């Protein structure tokens, strides 16, 4: 195997959070994936890989891309660690407990590596973009063979070649704004539902958040590339696509040659024959009326909007640099509720931001009551090194933060149950995903608003759209009776 100059140059490149923060004016390059290098084709024949994925849907989809390249090199997937020749940890840096889990996992690999010295152990994803993480791996986890970041996923074949050849740890983490690389092979994990990136990166720099440092600047895929991918998935028989971005509402803002927004994109995706289209995540700040009008057209655009609030208090929102007030957020919610029939709203909330008082927390509870989310992801604030909030004075004891989280969760559970009870007796459209995890006699699927429904029906319905009458609503799921192919009375 030959090693070219480029590979040697990139051999030991460590992350640099300061450099990652810079937002240059250079044009984003849209590159085409260069095929798998000749000497790497077939390298994986008879060998197996395993990817452990942490974090958000972006990471889940990145893992599908990494799997695509590995399979083109001949590797096959395994779920058995001991059978794997390559194990990659695709990591998440969003909170400390996410990082702890990864370090626990990497630590456990030490024995496996002793048993099988030829095993290639790699770490990629958002944690690799952090200096402190790479230093810790260098100091304490010398059994890691390869570290690469979020900007050079397309270099997996080259990096793997280096890792196979080298006795030293191979590190290639680029701290840059990022490009777009099209046509990387993918192996999608699910034959029904597909993830589709529409943009990468984030420029919002919410003061608590590490993502703008780990994922580079906001950059949108060209509309044609997104639409072609969705059309292709429709032809393959996919029932659902989820359009992905850290802030999908900023889609198109970086185009210099055309004026084209997320609303425009959704209006075109609406006309593609794929039964369901979702998107995540939307930042309230860039959510415009045009988009609301397009979503109100319904059809395959489902009436579910994930709209992270983070806090219900304007002062805290200001300290978070969310760039909206409580009133603006509520006004947006009102416009959505007025325009989109039966719209279901879900959210993300952080409790215990530095200095958050009891009164300020009460505002978050009251926001939750006022909006009536169907569900919420709730988190205790976790300081992230290098972010502005990590330097803010925080005198709120952890016990208080935990108590707040519990109160918030209890309130959300009450609201979720009430919302689900309102569906009692209604017929809902369900995309049948498979047997229920708890009982193989029961099928489970999702409503348009992404609620889990369990019901008894023939297995032949798996992978299809059907209708179910809700009989027993619960807090986290709905039990129902299959009614077959009747018209839905209610989405």
Asked if 61 interacts with ligand SF4 (CB under 6 A), we say no
Task: Mark residues 200-229: x for contact with ligand F3S by CB under 6 A, - for none.
Answer: ----------xx--xx--------------
Asked if 214 interacts with ligand SF4 (CB under 6 A), we say no
Least separation, in Å, of the C-beta of 325 and ligand SAH? 16
Among ligand SF4, ligand SAH, ligand F3S, none, what does residue 157 contact (CB within 5–8 Å per kind)?
Answer: none
55/178 with CB nearer ligand F3S: 55
Query: Six-digit token pair at 205?
Result: 């720099």
Query: Six-digit token pair at 434?
Result: 């498979």
Which residues does 157 contact at the CB level (< 8 Å), separation at least 6? 36, 37, 40, 69, 73
Picking from 248, 31, 47, 272, the residue whose alpha carbon sits closest to that of residue 152 is 31
Which residues does 391 contact at the CB level (< 8 Å), separation at least 6? none
55/157 with CB nearer ligand F3S: 55
Q: By CB under 6 A, which span of 88-96, 154-162, 368-376, 481-489 interacts with ligand F3S?
A: 88-96
- Out of 175, 247, 261, 454, which residue is the one contacting ligand SF4 (CB under 6 A)? 247
Q: What are phi and psi of 368, to 5 degrees?
A: -60, -45
- Out of 310, 450, 454, 466, which residue is the one contacting ligand SAH (CB under 6 A)? 310
Task: Mark residues 244-273: x for contact with ligand SAH by CB under 6 A, - for none.
Answer: --xx--------------------------
- Out of 279, 373, 379, 455, which residue is the one contacting ligand SAH (CB under 6 A)? 379
- Out of 36, 92, 250, 371, which residue is the one contacting ligand F3S (CB under 6 A)? 92
Residue where the block lists tokens 């926001």: 367
Q: What are phi and psi of 109, to 5 degrees?
A: -75, -15
Asked if 93 interacts with ligand F3S (CB under 6 A), we say yes
Cβ-contact 429, 455 below 8 angstroms: no
Cβ-contact 262, 301 below 8 angstroms: no
* Paired residues of 278 in beta bridges: 242
Angle at 474 between CA 468 and CA 476, to 5 degrees: 95
Q: Report DSSP letters for 401-436, one per residue.
A: HHHHHHHHHHHHHHHHHHHHHTTTT-EEEEEEEEE-
Q: What are the residues binding ligand SF4 (CB under 6 A)?
A: 202, 204-206, 209, 211-212, 246-247, 283
Q: What are the residues binding ligand F3S (CB under 6 A)?
A: 55-56, 58-59, 92-94, 125-126, 210-211, 214-215
Q: What are the residues binding ligand SAH (CB under 6 A)?
A: 94-95, 208-209, 211, 246-247, 281, 283, 308, 310, 348, 350, 379, 381-382, 384
């Amino acid at each position: 195997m030959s090693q070219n100059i480029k590979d040697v140059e990139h051999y030991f490149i460590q992350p640099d959070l300061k450099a990652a923060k810079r937002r240059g004016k250079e044009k984003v390059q849209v590159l085409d994936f260069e095929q798998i290098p000749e000497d790497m084709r077939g390298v994986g024949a008879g060998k197996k890989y395993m990817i452990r994925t942490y974090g958000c849907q972006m990471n889940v989809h990145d893992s599908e891309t990494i799997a695509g390249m590995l399979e083109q090199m001949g590797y096959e997937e395994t779920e058995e660690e001991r059978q794997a020749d390559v194990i990659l940890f695709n990591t998440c840096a969003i909170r400390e407990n996410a990082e702890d889990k990864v370090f626990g996992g990497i630590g456990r690999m030490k024995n496996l590596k002793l048993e099988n010295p030829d095993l290639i152990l790699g770490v990629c994803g958002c944690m690799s973009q952090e200096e402190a993480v790479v230093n810790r791996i260098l100091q304490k986890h010398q059994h890691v063979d390869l570290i690469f970041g979020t900007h050079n996923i397309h270099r997996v074949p080259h990096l793997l070649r280096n890792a196979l050849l080298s006795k030293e740890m191979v590190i290639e983490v680029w701290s840059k704004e990022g490009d777009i690389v099209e046509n990387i092979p993918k192996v999608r994990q699910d034959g029904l539902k597909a993830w589709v990136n529409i943009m990468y990166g984030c420029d919002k720099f919410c003061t608590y958040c590490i993502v703008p440092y780990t994922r580079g600047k906001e950059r949108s895929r060209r509309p044609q590339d997104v639409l072609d991918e969705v059309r292709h998935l429709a032809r393959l028989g996919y029932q659902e696509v989820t359009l992905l971005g850290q802030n999908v509402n900023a889609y198109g803002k970086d185009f210099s040659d055309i004026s084209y927004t997320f609303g425009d994109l959704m209006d075109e995706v609406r006309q593609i024959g794929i039964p369901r289209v979702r998107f995540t995540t939307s930042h309230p700040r860039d959510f415009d009326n045009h988009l609301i009008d397009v979503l109100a057209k319904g059809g395959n655009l489902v009436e579910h909007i994930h709209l992270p609030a983070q806090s219900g208090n304007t002062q805290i929102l200001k300290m978070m640099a969310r760039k909206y007030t409580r009133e603006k957020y509520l006004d947006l919610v009102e416009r959505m509720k007025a325009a989109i029939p039966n719209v279901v709203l879900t959210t993300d909330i952080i409790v215990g931001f530095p200095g958050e008082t009891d009164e300020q927390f009460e505002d978050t509870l009251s926001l939750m009551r006022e909006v009536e989310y169907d569900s919420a992801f709730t988190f205790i604030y976790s300081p992230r090194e290098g972010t502005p909030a990590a330097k803010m004075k925080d005198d709120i004891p952890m016990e208080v933060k935990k108590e707040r989280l519990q109160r918030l969760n209890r309130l959300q559970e009450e609201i979720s149950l009430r919302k689900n009870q309102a569906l009692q007796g209604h017929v809902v459209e369900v995309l049948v995903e498979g047997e229920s995890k708890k009982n193989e006699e029961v099928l489970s699927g999702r409503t348009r608003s992404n609620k889990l429904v369990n019901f008894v029906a023939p297995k032949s319905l798996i992978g299809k759209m059907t209708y179910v009458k809700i009989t027993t609503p619960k807090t986290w799921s709905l039990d129902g009776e299959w009614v077959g192919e009747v018209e839905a009375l209610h989405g």
